[in-house]
Structure 1
């Protein structure tokens, strides 16, 4: 770079829309496993993982090799033009992983938002009903339907309306914020009583653990009650497993913690170890409701993504990553509880598997969210060499999304970095 050229951050400001935010003012040069390095050579422990995409870590050698091998045959076909084994094999495996002995089918797309959009289309096609119920604090993407389903006004909705019609929101159970299972179920009934009759509702979509909403797990009793209610009313239950899927919660899928069986499941993020692919997996009779041509997408189920995903599934089995997720969560929770006892700005700590978060408040009695200190902690952690990001409706939650291949020693080092960040900002 000549002395007259602008540095990368300035170039980013000049050439990239302000509408896309970047959490950390660094430029990445390379990455491997649980680490990445910036263009200045500084090394970071990555507890963001591409926002939950890299459960098998950066550049897992087996994923890299699978993609390289696929490149030698073909990189793109488009399944609407001609079939290929990689797409079919991946569907067969996911159908069994989600549906067990029941007959499930799959369709592959490119992004999580596309998966959500198509899950809604499938539910509407099957039920011939228009309504969809989602949850406050939920996140389902940035497309029109995804944004409409998302239960947060900022930064996602801004002045982008009008939103998609026939979408209704109810509170998500969150004991820390005073929303019990009972209150959430009462709110659901109120929607049926006052806004849309149950026989006009096609689907209820829920994250078993809210991701961007703050890493809040729905109680098992709520999930079971919701499943019972939807079955009684002929409403399709969609579990959005885009962030919770593939071992993040200590089970392969988040819905498995409550022992329910959803009608449709959306998958993406860690499905393919960093390659863009998403999907909808659902009961066969639902998946066959749209007429031929109603589903698809040019890049959906790209052969490179399918090849990567097939290898990711093998890695999960051979490296016991679901079990590793639970161990990571236990280690993080033990560390968080020690920090919670020392730093008064920590209002609540929570983990489910390796889906871990620390919520910051101005004081523990009022529980008033403190987004400012959360941001200062994130910035201080980066200086220590730890990358984390925020979440929550109030943006006062710091989330930890490390690759599941991370070592026990590296988790301990990350906790030490986080502690030093808390000290630095006088949390």
Structure 2
């Protein structure tokens, strides 16, 4: 027997989409978007400073991205990238080889960031012949069984185990909350990676995996020398470095990739989110000798490297270059950090402002003396911002960090408006 029809599409969304695992869906029925703005079905406009969880870096429905996708759809939508030679997929892979750091060259395409990370883990095992991994406490890498195994957050793993064995966790390189270094990073957290190798593993470690800026952890920016110190340790032990650029890639941090801030060359890189301006696409990129360690039949993806998504990704790379979005992210990110720090002078609830480029976190605390997380206040601030036409996110291990990750096409005037709304929201919830 069928079900009775619903009054509106929004009603259908709330009734028939399984939302049981979602903490809370914003009460906005989205109708359309353009640039850094969204409109709901009632015509109300919102300034989007979350970009679909840091995805639509070129803005909503960028004309060049839409045109590229439309042109490819008129040719064909799907044929199986790993069955036939698809020119647009080759073009994208070549472009990625040109913009990624170091000797990264060959890309295996997937549909999402989690798939990219899981594929990278399989590749690391295939190349090294080893089985174990080291990840970071509070790090996040996806919601599949393997990616949750290397996610250092109990809240994300609840009801999902048992997970993969052979995973050890190093201290989170959080400059203000690190329990190893204390207040202010001394790089003891980096040196602790060697202790993890020696005391928590069997010495059979295939790879160390980390985000260059820890996104879900609350926009945590490691010490500028952290990854260089860790890479020295990894090289000494013959361990690969997988950098997870799913959230930090494609201009988000003010550089094309977040790891470029640290001057370190990864062995494998994972990408997704901003790669195709909202079309589902991910991938992992490696040096040729690592990439070619897969044997026939060891890995495949039916929809990975979808031609429409790849065409959108090529156009996205063009827009990032032609509109100087990396530079825009760096400039406006510095401007935004300065103005948010000024807010901290009048709002004691702001414990810390941190970030790189347009990947910014505002941590809310009960007091700066205790730095006790103010998670409920963050929820209230997000709601107050939404009521005033501003969309922000919430994150952090304790759920107390307001996340500001807008499309990279956002303007200074729009960000100035966002700062004003955030100021109002903080006052309204005081």
TM-score bin, normalised by smaller chain: over 0.9
Deviation per CA, 1:9-56: give whole Å up to 9, x if none.
654342122123444121101111100011121110001101111110
| 1:78 counterpart residue number | 80
Q: Which of 343, 356, 359 lines up with 2:360 in the alignment?
A: 356
Q: 1:279/1:325 Cα in 2 relative to 1: closer, same or farther (>3 Å)? A: same
- Residue in structure 2 matched with residue 119 of structure 1 by the alignment: 120
Q: Does 1:26 align with 2:57?
A: no
Matched, 1:39 2:41: yes
Alpha-carbon offset, residue 207 of structure 1: 0.1
- 1:283-324 superposed Cα distances (whole Å, 9 cap, x missing partner): 111111110222220000000011001111111111000100
CA pair 146-402 structure 1, distance change in 2 beyond 3 A: same
**1:95 paired residue number:** 97
Ranges in structure 2 where 5+ consecutive residues have no aligned partner: none
Query: What is the SS of the residue equivalent to 1:216?
Result: coil
User: In 2, distance between residues paired with 1:104 and 1:5?
Assistant: 50
Q: TM-score, normalised by structure 1?
A: 0.95
Counterpart of 1:109? 110
1:307 paired residue number: 311
Per-residue CA deviation, residues 212-245 of structure 1 (Å, 9 max, x unaligned), is 1110112221110111111111100000000000
- TM-superposed CA distance for 1:259, in Å, is 0.7
| Distance across 1 between alignment mates of 2:311 and 2:305 | 10
Residue aligning to 2:166: 166
Q: Does the aligned pair in 1 maintain the 2:213–2:248 contact within 8 Å? A: yes
Counterpart CA distance in 2 for 1:182 and 1:419 is 35
Cα offset, 1:77, TM superposition: 1.2
Q: In the TM superposition, what is the alpha-carbon distance from 1:163 to its structure 2 partner?
A: 1.0
Q: What is the deviation of 1:8?
A: 5.5
The range that moved more, 171-180 or 345-354, is: 171-180
Correspondence for 2:199: 194
1:279 aligns with 2:280: no
Unaligned runs of 5+ in 1: none
SS of the aligned residue for 2:154 comes to coil
Q: How far does residue 175 in structure 1 lie from its aligned partner after superposition?
A: 1.5
Q: Distance in 2 between matches of 1:182 and 1:322?
A: 28
Relative distance call for 1:170 and 1:83 in structure 2 (3 A) is: same
Conserved 8 A contact 2:378-2:400:
yes
2:393 to 386, 389, 394: 389
Q: Is the 8 A contact 2:213 2:258 kept in 1?
A: yes
Question: 1: CA distance between counterparts of 2:278 and 2:134?
Answer: 30
Cα deviation for residue 164 of structure 1 reads: 1.2
| Corresponding position of 2:189 | 184
Q: Is the 8 A contact 2:104 2:285 kept in 1?
A: no
Are the equivalent residues in 2 in contact too, given 1:181–1:222 (CA < 8 A)? no
Distance in 2 separating the partners of 1:411 and 1:84: 40
Alpha-carbon separation, structure 2, partners of 1:23 and 1:398: 16
Contact map agreement 2:104 2:267 (CA 8 A) in 1: no
- Cα distance in structure 2, aligned partners of 1:111 and 1:15: 24
Does the CA contact (< 8 Å) of 2:194 and 2:233 recur in 1? no
- Which residue of 2 is the match for residue 345 of structure 1? 349
Query: C-alpha separation between the residues in 2 aligned to 1:91 and 1:362?
Result: 47
CA contact (8 A) 1:273 1:312 kept: yes
* Contact 2:175–2:221 (Cα < 8 Å) also in 1: no
Report the CA distance shift for 1:20/1:213 in structure 2 as closer, same or farther (over 3 A).
same
Quote the Cα distance in structure 1 between the aligned partners of 2:211 and 2:6: 45
Q: 1:232 to 1:188 in 2, by over 3 A?
A: same
Partners of 2:359 and 2:225 lie apart in 1 by 20
Corresponding residue SS for 2:209 = strand
Contact 2:190-2:227 at 8 Å conserved across structures? no
1:168-190: CA deviations, max 9, x gaps? 11111111113435331343222
Aligned to 1:12: 13
2:261 corresponds to 1:261 = no
Q: Secondary structure at the match of 1:271?
A: helix
**Partner SS state of residue 123, structure 1:** helix
Aligned residue for 2:302? 298
**Cα distance, 1:6 vs structure 2:** 4.9
Report what 2:214 is aligned to.
210
